[in-house]
Chains A and B, each alone.
Chain A
Amino acid sequence: MSKTVDSYRFVDGVTRRVVETWIKMEAPRPIPWTPLERPLSECTVALFTSGGIAMKGDVPFNQDGERQNPWWGDPSYRVIPRSATEQDVEVYHLHINHKYVLQDLNCQLPLRQLEAMEAAGEVGRAADSHYSIMGYLLQPEAMLQESIPAIVRRLKDERVDVVVLVPS
């Protein structure tokens, strides 16, 4: 028996209603497509989470702005080097419990596992840089217009082929 993932397993009734309505509001649109042109064992892979993760000492994602206006979320991004561990990061995301990432960064940004796959030759290379935004963005325009183009430039500079996104 193959599993079908229940999208609502971990959300409350109000959130479910919100999500179901948002789904109905979306109309199908053309899907962008970049085929994988070589085996994964030759690809450079980057990770990108919306877990609100930043390096210690980096500018925090702005949580006070959201506390003052609960409809707003910080649209900026942060770079996480491949060597980062839970010792090196902070979490700024008012919609998730921070303690799990602070215990073990890999539960949201699996850098050690990506390095293990690199060492085993399963992927060509783990990119030098990985990325985080903060996922509570009811109005995603600023993130899409400013943060994503900056991340894309960096992905190109580092000759990344594959991006794995981990939402939060």
Chain B
Amino acid sequence: MDGPSVGLQLQRLKEAVIGCDLDNVEKIAREALDIGVKPVDAIQEGLAKGIKEVGERYGKGEAYLPELVMAANVMKKAVAVLEPHIPKGTDLGSLGKVVIGTVEGDIHDIGKSLVGTILGTSGFEILDLGVDVPAEKFVSGVAGQNVRIVGMSALMTTTMIRMPEVISALAGKGVRKKLVVMVGGAPTTKEWAREIGADAQAGDAVEASQLALSMVKGR
């Protein structure tokens, strides 16, 4: 294996993500495999570094949201090429799983999906339950392995009131304590989070990502 060319290929993967190169990233990923780059390295040392950089620029208000979303999609496309070549049981260094969803009765999911994208770029695995998600579905969602955070969104005061129901349902199954519960959406506030016994509230996706990272590390 030729060192410099491996380094160069990792750099190309990183740049493909930063440059949102949707058209060429699969080809670059295949070339990486062809020259013997380990798929885990291609992800962690190439693609993930790219998304981290875009995410940081986004957090500073420099990169645009469509850029971040595109970069995430570029990464996904490349991961799909690389993943089948990763030996089973390899540690991918995930920070854990985040289950997110928009609560029952509410279909406004732009913000929620955005939070999913940003958390995804921060190193979490995302399980997005979608919109109009009843409490039971959140409970079954967290039953999987390595779930660290549950995130709920609501855009309306009339649906926000579903959030405490989800928290009680989690408590009823005895899983509330091992999870970080985060809420978000226009009508939610920090006071509201305290009132219903959630762990955190975020005003936007960047704050959500910062809170998620600090809360997971704090545990």
* A and B associate: no
Write the residues of chain A forming the contact surface with B, with a CB cutoff of 8 angstroms: none
Write the residues of chain B forming the contact surface with A, with a CB cutoff of 8 angstroms: none
